[in-house]
Structure 1
Amino acid sequence: MKIVMTGGGTGGHIYPALAIADKFVQKHPETEIIYIGSEDRLERDIVPKHGYKFESVDTMYLDRDNPLKLVKTAVSNMRGIRQAKKLLKKYKPDLVISTGGYISIPVVISASSMSIPIFIHEQNAFPGMANKFLEKYADKIFLGFNDARERFKNKDKLIYTGNPVRDDFYKIDKNSARKALGIDEGIFNIFIFGGSLGSKVINSIGIEIIKKFSQNENIHIMLGTGNDMYDEVIRTLRKEVGNLGKNINISAYINYIPNAISSADIVICRAGALSVAEITASGRPAIFIPSPNVTENHQYYNAKSVSDNGGAYLVEEDEMTAHRVIEKIEYLYKNPYELIDMREDSKHCSNQDATELIYKSITKELKNER
């Protein structure tokens, strides 16, 4: 079997695609995976390191407010469609699986014109523009959040599966994660991160949390700043806090995030679909601070889907965000039994069988078509 995977731009599109690809290879080791992405985005580095063949085509972000860029986008995507058709003719895949992002548009359109079965996975509670546009081309659309159902037109195509995440998030427990990181079992552990590139807002909140709790040796704080912001955060903390104790751990990049998440009593971060999926897979309570600067405010809906079910707090971004986050940390620190319920509720928001459901649904659909 040959499968073309497409989707990219962010880890939230790439890692679910890789998880799905891994499931097919696990079930059928002879499966050949070809990943079509963009030459200048994250997938260019991530996919080859994962061991899969990578090809690139042209595409361009749709800026609806700039008429000149609309023309450039159209030209780029037409070129991308020609390139994608050439690649599909070369590899002759049995199916195409898309996880969204603008790179998926020329690939899916090309596959449709060649009558190749198409399957789409939408990670967010509020679907992205690319997947909503490509709905008409798909045989089936898998949903990371059931809330996304109301925002697609063809309900017969929709299957709720949850978001695929790496098996590690289901296998690592709190105690083994803490042992790997050298954190005592009885310590209240807070993990704060803003992704590999970092988030200025999350880092500023992290600094305020460290200023508030750095003298409490019963609280351990891990802050992942992102590579580009590490030096600035360290300078600020040295100026405003002074020497940091052993209970404060600042890293530019989190090398193995399953341990970091699983070791935490509370996780504080944005609400990208991948982060939400990984946190709920680990059954960790969270304080989500959705980015207001994303398409259709989809992070808000991702966070809301968990907070509405008791597994997280949703704190919107404004001048009082850090204050409200600290209030919630203080409450949970003083009321640890609340965390027990939150852990259970967080876990219930995760579908541990996501990749298996996607695999079974695709293979069933292919058998029906044949």
Structure 2
Amino acid sequence: MRVIMTCGGTGGHIYPAVAIADEIRRRKPDAEVLFVGSEIGLERDLVPESGYDIELIAADGFDRQHLLRNIKVMRTLRRGAKKSRKIIKEFRPDVVIGTGGYASAPVMKEAQKLHIPTYIHEQNAVAGMANKLLEKGVKKLFLGFEEASGDFRFPEKHVLAGNPVRHEFIEADKEKARAELGLMPSDFVVLAFGGSQGAGRVNRAMMKVIETFNGVSDFRIYLATGGYYYEAINQELADRGVALADNVVIVEYIHEMAKYLAASDLVISRSGALTVAETTVCGKPAIFIPSPAVTGNHQYFNAKAVADKGGAIIVEEKDLDNDKLADEILKLKNNPEAMKEMAAGSLACAPFDAVKIICDNILGPEKTQ
């Protein structure tokens, strides 16, 4: 069996594709899997690190603010479509699976023109434009959130699957993770990050949190800033006269996210679909700060799906002030019963069977021994 996985841009599109590819390989060890991604996304590094070959195409997204720029985007997309067709003809896939990102649309469209079965996965609670356009030609459309179904036109193709999460998150063990990180059972561990590329507003909100809890013995704070913000955040803390104590760790990127999520008590993050899925399968209470700069405000609705089950608190950017985040953290730390209820609410949203549901629909149900 030959499979093309197409995805790109951020970890939120890439890691679900990796999770699906891993399950295909587990079920069909002889399967050949090729990733196709964009020249400008994180997939250039993340896919090979995950053990898969990748071909790169020219790809870009439309700019709704600067319409003239879209002339250049159209040229880029034509180049990407031409190379996509060449890759598909040479690799001869039996199926093409897309999980979003700039590269997905041209690859999926070319596969459909060649009458190759295609499947797409929509991660967010509000559907993206590319998936809306591709829906008519796919065999199945997998939904990360039920709320997205109303954005599409062919409900008979829809399968509510949840968002695929890699096995290391599902299997992560809190006690083992905390032991490996040298944490005490009594430590209250806060894990903060802004997605795979970081988020300036989340980082700035964490400044006051760090100032408040720096050096507090039973607090542990891990902040992943993203590479773009790392030096600026450290410089600003230095300018404020904050000498970081041992209980605060600031890094560009967390490579072992499953371990750090498992070890944490509270997550503070954006609410991209993958972040929400990984947080919930680990059963972690969260304070979500949705990005307002996304299509259809989908991060807010991703977060709301968990908040409605009691697993998260939503703090919108417009409501963030100097003390808001620190106050929320302290309230939760001092209320173990509320934390326990939030953990249960988080787990209730966890997409444990997402990969199984997707692969059952593509490959057929797995035979039981």
TM range (shorter): over 0.9
Unaligned runs of 5+ in 1: 366-370
Structure 1 residue 245 displacement after superposition: 2.2
- CA RMSD between the two structures: 1.7
What does residue 192 of structure 2 align with?
192
Structure 1 residue 233 displacement after superposition: 2.0
Going from structure 1 to structure 2, the CA distance change for 1:244 and 1:211 (only over 3 Å counts) comes to: same
Comparing 73-82 with 14-23, greater Cα deviation is found at 73-82
What does residue 52 of structure 1 align with?
52
Offset from partner CA, 1:287-341 (integer Å, 9 cap, x none) = 0001111122111111111111110001100263453322221211111111111
Offset from partner CA, 1:247-292 (integer Å, 9 cap, x none) = 2222222131111111111100111111111101111000000111
Judge conservation of contact 2:222–2:249 (CA < 8 Å) in 1.
yes
What does residue 155 of structure 1 align with?
155
Going from structure 1 to structure 2, the CA distance change for 1:347 and 1:106 (only over 3 Å counts) comes to: same
Structure 1 residue 41 displacement after superposition: 1.7
Partner Cα separation in structure 2 for residue 357 and residue 164 of structure 1:
9
What does residue 251 of structure 2 align with?
251
Partner Cα separation in structure 2 for residue 90 and residue 290 of structure 1:
41
Q: SS where residue 227 of structure 1 aligns?
A: coil
Partner Cα separation in structure 1 for residue 75 and residue 215 of structure 2:
58
Partner Cα separation in structure 2 for residue 40 and residue 243 of structure 1:
36
What does residue 344 of structure 1 align with?
344
Partner Cα separation in structure 2 for residue 324 and residue 198 of structure 1:
20
1:240 and 2:251 are equivalent in the alignment? no
Structure 1 residue 137 displacement after superposition: 1.5
Going from structure 1 to structure 2, the CA distance change for 1:140 and 1:196 (only over 3 Å counts) comes to: closer
Judge conservation of contact 1:315–1:321 (CA < 8 Å) in 2.
no
What does residue 22 of structure 1 align with?
22
Partner Cα separation in structure 2 for residue 335 and residue 120 of structure 1:
42
Structure 1 residue 220 displacement after superposition: 1.6
Judge conservation of contact 1:268–1:289 (CA < 8 Å) in 2.
yes
- AA aligned to 1:102 is Y
Partner Cα separation in structure 2 for residue 198 and residue 330 of structure 1:
24
Q: SS where residue 260 of structure 1 aligns?
A: helix
Judge conservation of contact 1:23–1:355 (CA < 8 Å) in 2.
yes
TM-score, normalization by structure 2: 0.94
- AA aligned to 1:33 is V
What does residue 136 of structure 1 align with?
136
Comparing 256-265 with 72-81, greater Cα deviation is found at 72-81
Going from structure 1 to structure 2, the CA distance change for 1:208 and 1:94 (only over 3 Å counts) comes to: same
Q: 5 Å matches for 1:1-370?
A: 1-318=1-318, 320-364=320-364
Identity %: 42
TM-score, normalization by structure 1: 0.94
Partner Cα separation in structure 1 for residue 263 and residue 62 of structure 2:
40
Q: SS where residue 41 of structure 1 aligns?
A: coil
Partner Cα separation in structure 1 for residue 157 and residue 29 of structure 2:
28
Structure 1 residue 69 displacement after superposition: 2.7
Judge conservation of contact 2:143–2:159 (CA < 8 Å) in 1.
yes
Comparing 318-327 with 116-125, greater Cα deviation is found at 318-327
Structure 1 residue 357 displacement after superposition: 0.9
Judge conservation of contact 2:81–2:106 (CA < 8 Å) in 1.
yes
Judge conservation of contact 2:188–2:220 (CA < 8 Å) in 1.
yes
Judge conservation of contact 2:190–2:267 (CA < 8 Å) in 1.
yes
Partner Cα separation in structure 2 for residue 51 and residue 119 of structure 1:
22
Going from structure 1 to structure 2, the CA distance change for 1:193 and 1:156 (only over 3 Å counts) comes to: same
What does residue 368 of structure 1 align with?
none
Judge conservation of contact 2:120–2:138 (CA < 8 Å) in 1.
yes
